[in-house]
Amino acid sequence: MKKKGPNFIEQIIEGDIARGFDKKNLRFRFPPEPNGYLHIGHLKAICLNFNLGKKYNSPVNLRFDDTNPEKEAKEYVDAIKHDINWLGFDWDKECYASDYFDQLHEWAIILIKKNKAYIDSQTSEQIATQKGTPTKPGQNSPFRERPNEESLSIFEGMYKGEYNQGEHVLRAKIDMASPNMLMRDPVVYRVMKVSHHRTGENWNIYPMYDWTHGESDYIEQVSHSLCTLEFEPHRELYDWFLDAISPLEGIRPKQREFSRLNLSFTITSKRKLAQLVEKKIVSGWDDPRMPTISGLRKRGYTPQSLKNFAVTVGVSKRENVIDASLLEFCVRSHLNEIAPRAMAVINPLKIKIINYAKQEGEKINFDINPQNKEEGKREIIFTDEMFIEKEDFQENPEDGFFRLSPGEEVRLKNAYIIKAVDVLKDEKGGVTEVLCEYDPKSKSGTNTPESNRRVKGTIHWVSSKKAVRAKINIYDRLFKVEEPGKNETIENEINENSLITKEAFVEPYLSNAKDGQQYQFQRLGYFVKTDNKKTLEFNKTVGLRDGWKK
Ligand code: ATP
Ligand code: MG
């Protein structure tokens, strides 16, 4: 791959180092909220942070921003950890914002004591009507000048569970006229009598994400706090919160924002992906059509191809939409290098070679991977009865059809040249079997004049006497529109052909395929062995070429 120059984040870090920032103090983090599975968008943030860790030999924390127990669960924590490990990254500390709940609570009390926060006893609707608009200042709450002692006492009551959800909130006292709406006295704590997947029933109040996130970066001494562009206006608030609890010791995190990864034909919003799961449009978060890391893994994507994709996309501040074909290209390029080859026939049509006499058949050698000859050879048995793809035979060939048709010759890959001489049909006139003759001297690689004879087409095959059955799931893009989810009606945007299941015949050596192993089925595309224990099953990963080019 082309070596890229430093991205703008790296330039910022280099600048900081040049101005005297001690390299030893560099620390990064990836801060997911455990309310869903990681998706291809997160991949960008993961690669950015962990690659910085590698580049500067500095620690990268995995921090779960678990401030919203209603939506979060341990299942998501476990899936996120598994996915990051699978990508090949190791975090330094495994952190949870919930581990800082005590500290955040203490700091909240300091805010009140410093007259920087107050208890508002209005309803959330009332608070919302006072927010104003970006061009119109908001109104102060009637509780804004409530004595600090009173706020402290109510906050204590909230903490002890004496109030119900919605009765009171703690708000930062900033500026209801600020042009930055986030600075208009944001809520810092709310009453929420919900069990948390880590702290159980300990808390009756939970800190808001904005209060938690920036403080957590500071607690962990993250030097460069990297997030997506929509958090740019939050920076002012995080700074205000840090100033409010100062004096600070150690490092003050520097937040910088980069653009989100948007991919055509793909949804990169956990909320919308959750809808697909809840409405059972897909089989789960790890459905092979989902743009989740776990879905892509089941689809046969490799960690290397995903990381190559992230590097190719790069990091910038410009919002754009990446073509889904680029991701597929990265997967295809990597699989071309590493995937063993195999033959499979997905829409079988039987052929019989009437002049082939060897009962036991004969062994034909194939490269396991022509891109890497060292991987050696595999043997395939050639017999008088074969399956070829239905599409490789036409009784009345259309113009430009160069594969098998009556009277025409074609080569069976790595084996003999055959000619169709007759067809057998069912009562409806459908072709059930093609009778062929082969040229015994035309065997590939024997270097006879007949073997070097050129025919217009080469097709793949499996012996119908030796091949094994396999179930094949042919996946395609989940959405048929370029910007799914734009209009909230994702159900209507689903590609009805995104999963087609077939009964195929595959080379016998595939019956020993390991779960998760990818193969190139010659002429058909890349496929991965699933972990289905009952049947031999493969998922289609990606085609051999871009089938979506306009
Ligand atoms: P979603 O919109 O899917 O819920 P999120 O931003 O709420 O995403 P988090 O779990 O909070 O999800 O994200 C963890 C980190 O991943 C954040 O730093 C966030 O900026 C980053 N991230 C999320 N989506 C993308 C994306 N599409 N491109 C790049 N980074 C992303
Ligand atoms: Mg988020």
Residue 381's CATH number: 2.40.240.10
Q: Region of 200 please: left (phi>0), alpha (psi -120 to 50) or beta.
A: left
CB 261 near ligand 1, within 6 Å = yes
Tell me, what CATH number does 173's domain have?
Answer: 3.40.50.620
Residue bearing the CA closest to ligand 1, atom 10: 32
Secondary structure tally for the chain: helices H, strands E: 12, 27
* Active-site residue, selected from the candidate residues 33, 257, 409, 507: 33
**Minimum-distance ligand 1 atom for the alpha carbon of 226:** 18
| Beta strands 537-542; 468-475: pairing state | parallel
Residue 172 lies in a domain: yes
Ligand with minimal distance to 47 CA: 1
Note whether 149 and 213 are same-domain residues. Answer: yes
CB 32 near ligand 1, within 6 Å = yes
**Angle, CA of 307, 313 and 316, to the nearest 5°:** 120
Of 432, 460, 488, the residue at which a domain comes to its end is 460
pLDDT (0 to 100) of residue 60 = 98
Interval 237-273: pLDDT, tens: 999 999 999 999 999 999 999 999 999 999 999 999 9
Residue bearing the CA closest to ligand 1, atom 14: 32
Residue 14 lies in a domain: no
Residue 265 lies in a domain: no
Cα torsion angle, 404, 405, 410, 412, sign: positive
Note whether 93 and 119 are same-domain residues. Answer: yes
Which position has the token pair 């079997």?
433
Note whether 318 and 240 are same-domain residues. Answer: no
Residue pLDDT tens, the chain, 550 long = 556 789 999 999 999 999 999 999 999 999 999 999 999 999 999 999 999 999 999 999 999 999 999 999 999 999 999 999 999 999 999 999 999 999 999 999 999 999 999 999 999 999 999 999 999 999 999 999 999 999 999 999 999 999 999 999 999 999 999 999 999 999 999 999 999 999 999 999 999 999 999 999 999 999 999 999 999 999 999 999 999 999 999 999 999 999 999 999 999 999 999 999 999 999 999 999 999 999 999 999 999 999 999 999 999 999 889 999 999 999 999 999 999 999 999 999 999 999 999 989 999 999 999 989 999 999 999 999 999 999 999 999 999 999 999 999 999 999 999 999 999 999 999 999 999 999 999 999 888 898 888 898 999 999 999 999 999 999 999 999 999 988 768 888 999 999 999 999 999 999 999 999 999 999 999 999 999 999 999 999 999 987 665 4
Residue of 541, 9, 54, 526 lying closest to 307 (CA atoms): 54
pLDDT (0 to 100) of residue 400 = 94
Alpha carbon distance 530, 507 (integer Å): 16
Residue 3 lies in a domain: no
CB 44 near ligand 1, within 6 Å = yes
pLDDT (0 to 100) of residue 549 = 58
Alpha carbon distance 345, 412 (integer Å): 13
Residue of 1, 4, 98 lying closest to 48 (CA atoms): 4
Residue 549 lies in a domain: no
Taking CA atoms, 409 is separated from 100, 278, 288, 451, in Å, by 74, 53, 39, 13
**Minimum-distance ligand 1 atom for the alpha carbon of 261:** 28
Domain residues for 77? 21-259
Residue 322 lies in a domain: yes
Alpha carbon distance 430, 416 (integer Å): 26
Ligand with minimal distance to 229 CA: 1
Q: pTM of the predicted model, to two decimals?
A: 0.95
Note whether 248 and 356 are same-domain residues. Answer: no
Residue bearing the CA closest to ligand 1, atom 4: 270
Ligand with minimal distance to 271 CA: 1
- Between the CA of 325 and the centroid of ligand 2 the distance, in Å, is 27
- Between the CA of 42 and the centroid of ligand 1 the distance, in Å, is 5
CB 268 near ligand 1, within 6 Å = yes
Residue 168 lies in a domain: yes
Of 206, 226, 259, the residue at which a domain comes to its end is 259
- Between the CA of 97 and the centroid of ligand 2 the distance, in Å, is 13
Residue type, 509: Y
Note whether 63 and 163 are same-domain residues. Answer: yes
Mutation pick for ligand 1 pocket among 29, 42, 49 (CB with most ligand atoms within 8 Å): 42
Residue type, 177: A
Note whether 448 and 508 are same-domain residues. Answer: no
CB 45 near ligand 1, within 6 Å = yes
Note whether 481 and 452 are same-domain residues. Answer: no
Note whether 334 and 348 are same-domain residues. Answer: no
CB 269 near ligand 1, within 6 Å = yes
Of 259, 284, 305, the residue at which a domain comes to its end is 259
* Active-site residue, selected from the candidate residues 270, 299, 341, 403: 270
- Between the CA of 459 and the centroid of ligand 1 the distance, in Å, is 46
- Between the CA of 34 and the centroid of ligand 1 the distance, in Å, is 11
**Minimum-distance ligand 1 atom for the alpha carbon of 230:** 20
Residue of 357, 380, 533 lying closest to 464 (CA atoms): 380
Residue 548 lies in a domain: no
pLDDT (0 to 100) of residue 487 = 77
Note whether 289 and 431 are same-domain residues. Answer: no
Interval 416-449: pLDDT, tens: 999 999 999 999 999 999 999 999 999 998 888 9
Tell me, what CATH number does 322's domain have?
Answer: 1.10.1160.10
What percentage of residues in the chain have a pLDDT greater than 90? 93
Q: Is 270 a catalytic residue?
A: yes
Contact (Cβ atoms closer than 8 angstroms) between residue 20 and residue 329: no
Note whether 128 and 194 are same-domain residues. Answer: yes
Structural domains in the chain (count): 3
CB 228 near ligand 1, within 6 Å = yes
Note whether 77 and 186 are same-domain residues. Answer: yes
Sequence-ordered list of residues with C-beta below 8 angstroms from that of 6, at least 6 positions apart, any chain: 14
pLDDT (0 to 100) of residue 73 = 97
Composition of the chain by helix, strand, coil, percent to 5: 30, 25, 45
pLDDT (0 to 100) of residue 445 = 87
- Between the CA of 313 and the centroid of ligand 1 the distance, in Å, is 16
**Minimum-distance ligand 1 atom for the alpha carbon of 228:** 20
Residue type, 38: L
**Minimum-distance ligand 1 atom for the alpha carbon of 45:** 30
**Angle, CA of 24, 30 and 36, to the nearest 5°:** 170
CB 33 near ligand 1, within 6 Å = yes
Contact (Cβ atoms closer than 8 angstroms) between residue 297 and residue 286: yes
Note whether 382 and 453 are same-domain residues. Answer: yes
